[in-house]
Amino acid sequence: MDQKVQMLLETVRKLIRRGAHPNLNNLLKKTHPADIAHLFRYLDLKEQRVLFHLVEDVDTAAEVLSEIEHSVSAQLLEQIEKETIVHVLQHMPYDDAVDIIQNMPEELAEEVLDSMQDDCSDEIEQLMQYQEDTAGGIMSTEIFSLREDITARQAIEALQEAEDVEMVFYLYVTDMYNHLVGVLSLRQLLMVPPGRCLRDIVSPDVISVRADTDQEEVAQLVAKYNILAIPVVDDHNKLLGIITVDDVIDVMRQEATEDIYKMAGASEEELMYGYKSFKIARLRLPWLLVNLLGGVVTGYLMWWFQLTLKEVIALISFIPVITGMGGNVGGQSATIVVRGFATGRIDFTTLRQVFFKELRVGLIMGLVCGLVVGGIAIVWHHNPYLGLVVGSAMTIAMTVAATMGVLAPAFFKRIGIDPAIASTPFVQTSNDITGILIYFGMATLFISNLH
């Protein structure tokens, strides 16, 4: 927590304890809504309720509410009367309101929608039809667009009269049927003679997306072309909305968190549950149970080799290192491929090259680690054959693990399963199994030398 927020938090807590509401009120007026929202993370339920009610200006309250994280706002909304919620939501951009309503318990969401003014709830219900993770789900519908048949002067006047249109930097130009025909920058508008018709100055090369485009793809386009906003159109190229770069930043952060969580077998969904342990445990358990099954299978294989093991008990000392390293190397390769798919750096065209690169890297690292662990085996158990078996098993297991780390995510992506969620347990389990098979297989083969 940075100092500014720390100080603000202490002051707010002190004022709440003292019941110094007018002072709090003044303080809140001078504080950025994003900073007010930040405070809610650290406040208890009662403090949250008091503070939220003290935000007098409904527009500020709306901004605060839309900036609070979902896990915190879910708690907060339970504390506030329905009427206040409805009032605040009606003062919010529709897309933010949709976002909050979609994260409410279903009952409350229905009640809230019922109590809203008809035009507002209509808009919101329409937006709710789009999938949450598509362009339609994150676009803002309050757009400022200009008809192609007006002049630059008229456009500037329209702009001066427009209110509440957040962040106008691209001016989208449409024809009389609301089809998107092109884009203008505010600066271009200032540069042309005031009498020129927009149709003659508009740039027709505008990058747009469909409402059902995946939000990750939207983020990639914005990042690739360095644009500040992207218009959303329907199947007939009619302008539906706009996605601004600040929403894209949220998407990128969220997608990165999602990928990171998924690869560890957790789900970003748990952020919505705050500190509710049972719900969180339920989200993480399926992945763990798959791994548990894998672990039991590995154990079964070891059980299978018990005769070899009973004969040469020293073999046991390298089981953890063989399975562990296979898992690590496979995890590295899988991480690089999964992230590569997510950022677009790797695709099926370059996969072959990536495969052979990881194979070579796995082999090199396997040779190094095999030498080290083989050396340790010789020094520890005074048995050069054991060193040979352990070392070469390690080299082979690591090389196989690296290739598995490329193939598994690629396979899951090809059959349409999210590689981030499927690869890690699969890679880990299969590498445990192949590691044990290679290790004990070689040991059984050389058993006569190992005594």
Give me the least distance between CB of 82 and a second copy, in Å please.
28
Give me the least distance between CB of 126 and a second copy, in Å please.
24
Q: Does 364 bind a second copy (CB under 8 A)?
A: yes
> What phi and psi values does residue 266 have, to the nearest 5 degrees?
-110, 175
In angstroms, rounded to a whole number, what is the distance separating the alpha carbons of residues 243 and 241? 7
Which residue blocks in 152-194 are alpha helix, DSSP H?
A: 152-161, 186-191
Residue type, 328: N
CA terminus-to-terminus distance, the chain: 60
> What phi and psi values does residue 281 have, to the nearest 5 degrees?
-60, -40
Structure tokens at 175: 């024809």
Task: Mark 7-36 with x for binding to a second copy (rule: CB under 8 A) and - for no binding.
Answer: -------------------------x-x--
What residues numbered 186-205 form the site for a second copy, per CB under 8 A?
Answer: 186-187, 190-191
Give me the least distance between CB of 112 and a second copy, in Å please.
25
Q: Does 158 bind a second copy (CB under 8 A)?
A: no
What residues numbered 339-358 form the site for a second copy, per CB under 8 A?
Answer: 339, 343, 345, 347-350, 353, 356-357
In angstroms, rounded to a whole number, what is the distance separating the alpha carbons of residues 407 and 427? 9
Give me the least distance between CB of 304 and a second copy, in Å please.
9
Structure tokens at 91: 């003062």
Using the rule CB under 8 A, which residue among 40, 94, 130, 318 binds a second copy? 318
Cβ within 8 Å of residue 52, ≥6 positions away: 40, 61, 64, 65, 76, 79, 80
Q: Does 436 bind a second copy (CB under 8 A)?
A: yes
What residues numbered 367-406 form the site for a second copy, per CB under 8 A?
Answer: 368-369, 372-373, 376
Cβ within 8 Å of residue 85, ≥6 positions away: 77, 112
Structure tokens at 310: 């009973």
Q: Does 447 bind a second copy (CB under 8 A)?
A: no
Give me the least distance between CB of 337 and a second copy, in Å please.
11
Span from 99-107, 196-204, 265-273, 407-415 in contact with a second copy (CB under 8 A): 265-273
Using the rule CB under 8 A, which residue among 27, 120, 156, 272 binds a second copy? 156
Per the CB < 8 A criterion, the answer to whether 427 and 354 are in contact is no
* CB-CB neighbours of 267 under 10 Å: 17
Give me the least distance between CB of 415 and a second copy, in Å please.
19
Give me the least distance between CB of 3 and a second copy, in Å please.
12
Q: Does 272 bind a second copy (CB under 8 A)?
A: no
